[in-house]
C-alpha cells in the first residue's frame, strides 16, 4: 500500500515511502498510489512488474509536476479493503 511517510537521503538521492494498492486481475496486475495528486497507474504480468511500473510512473509524475503532488496534507496513514452490499 502507499502513503507518504518519512523522507530518506542516500548518496544524494531522496526517497519517499508511498502506499500502493495492487490489484490482481485475470490478465495481470494493476498498481496505483494512494494520496498522490493526479492519476498514476502501473501494470504488469506479475506483482513485481506492476510495482516497478508504478514506481517509474510516480517518478515521472513528480519530475513533471513537482514534489507537491506527493500529497502534503492529504497523507494516507492507513488503507483498508472493505466489501459492502449496495441496493441497485
DSSP three-state, residue 79? coil
Q: What is the pTM of this model?
A: 0.77
Domain boundaries, the chain: 7-74
Q: What is the mean pLDDT of the chain?
A: 86
Could you read off the pLDDT of 26-66 as tens digits, one per residue?
Answer: 999 999 999 899 999 999 999 999 999 999 999 999 999 99
Q: State the Cα–Cα distance between residues 36 and 63, nearest whole angstrom.
A: 13
C-alpha cell, 35: 494520496
Confidence of residue 73 (pLDDT cuts 50, 70, 90): low
Residue linked to cell 441497485 = 88
Residue 19 has pLDDT above 80, yes or no: yes
Closest CA to 31 of 51, 60, 48, 45: 51
Residue 88 has pLDDT above 90, yes or no: yes
Question: H or E segment at 62?
Answer: helix 47-65
Amino acid at each position: 500500500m502507499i502513503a507518504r511517510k518519512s523522507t530518506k537521503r542516500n548518496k544524494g538521492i531522496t526517497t519517499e515511502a508511498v502506499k500502493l494498492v495492487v490489484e490482481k486481475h485475470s490478465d495481470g496486475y494493476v498498481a496505483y498510489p494512494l494520496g498522490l495528486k493526479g492519476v498514476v497507474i502501473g501494470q504488469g504480468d506479475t506483482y513485481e512488474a506492476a510495482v516497478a511500473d508504478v514506481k517509474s510512473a510516480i517518478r515521472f509524475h513528480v519530475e513533471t509536476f513537482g514534489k507537491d503532488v506527493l500529497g502534503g496534507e492529504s497523507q494516507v496513514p492507513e488503507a483498508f479493503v472493505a466489501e459492502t452490499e449496495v441496493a441497485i
